[in-house]
Amino acid sequence: MGSRGDVTVNQASNTNKKKKNKNKKTGPAPAIKNMNKFVIDTCKCLKERKTYLVWNAVGVLGVSALSDIVNEVDAIQACGGQMTADGKHHRYGGGILWGILKKRDPNAYKEIMVKGKEIERQFKQQAPKELNPSLQKTAQSSIAGPMINHTSAGTALAPPLNCRPAACNIKRECISVLNRIRVPVTYDDLLGEEVEDHE
């Protein structure tokens, strides 16, 4: 009779072992089939915003070497991570990765960072702060173009005053705030009301 209870306990422990073994990853890591997915997953895992640096690292080091370093970063983070130089907060995984790479292979680190700087310069050049003068002229003509009305004689009428681009080029005198405040105010422009003199 006692043996039946032991059997159910053994079966329960066997099913728990099967579940645990099922969740364990055995053997080597699966082969990486999609490089883009590897880079994105690595950036998410390390909380690294600059994906182009990870792409450069894959190009310089290779996938296997980079994945080994990522595994080391995971181990460091599992043990408590690293603190920043000022000691106020923990370093993200990307910072740990670049620190390890800088210590182990300074030449590869420099190459990755130089390529990263070049990419950042390209990003800055793509976001123009001011349009070129030639682009401004074409933009103004495209804005004013549909607003110009043509008469039956074929002459063009000027666009409305509020749409004229030349109005922006008028140079105004700089008047100090104190002088603008001291300007007398008249109430003659109020509609339908008469101004009464209280004198």
Tell me, yes or no, whether 167 lies in a domain: no
Question: Within a domain: residue 115?
Answer: yes
Q: What is the pLDDT of residues 2-58, one digit of tens each?
A: 555 555 555 666 666 666 666 655 444 555 668 888 888 888 888 889 888 999 898
**Within a domain: residue 176?**
no
Average pLDDT over residues 65-75: 90
**Calpha distance 92→77 (Å, rounded):** 9
C-alpha distances in angstroms, 21 versus 10, 15, 16, 114, 146? 16, 10, 9, 45, 72
Hey, what's the torsion of the CAs at 136, 137, 139, 140, to 10 degrees? 110
Instruction: Quote the domain boundaries for residue 116.
Output: 31-124
- 108 belongs to a structural domain: yes
- CATH number, domain of 59, equals 1.10.10.1440
Task: Flag whether 187 is in a domain.
Answer: no
Please provide residue 156's backbone torsions phi and psi, each rounded to the nearest 5 degrees.
Answer: -90, 135
Q: Is the pLDDT of residue 118 over 80?
A: yes
pLDDT in tens, 143-188: 444 444 444 555 544 445 444 444 445 556 777 777 667 666 677 7
Q: Is residue 91 part of a domain?
A: yes
Domains in the chain: how many in total? 1
Is-above-0.85 flag for pTM?
A: no
If you average pLDDT over every residue of the chain, what do you get?
A: 71
What is the C-alpha to C-alpha distance for residues 48 and 60, in angstroms, rounded to an integer? Answer: 18
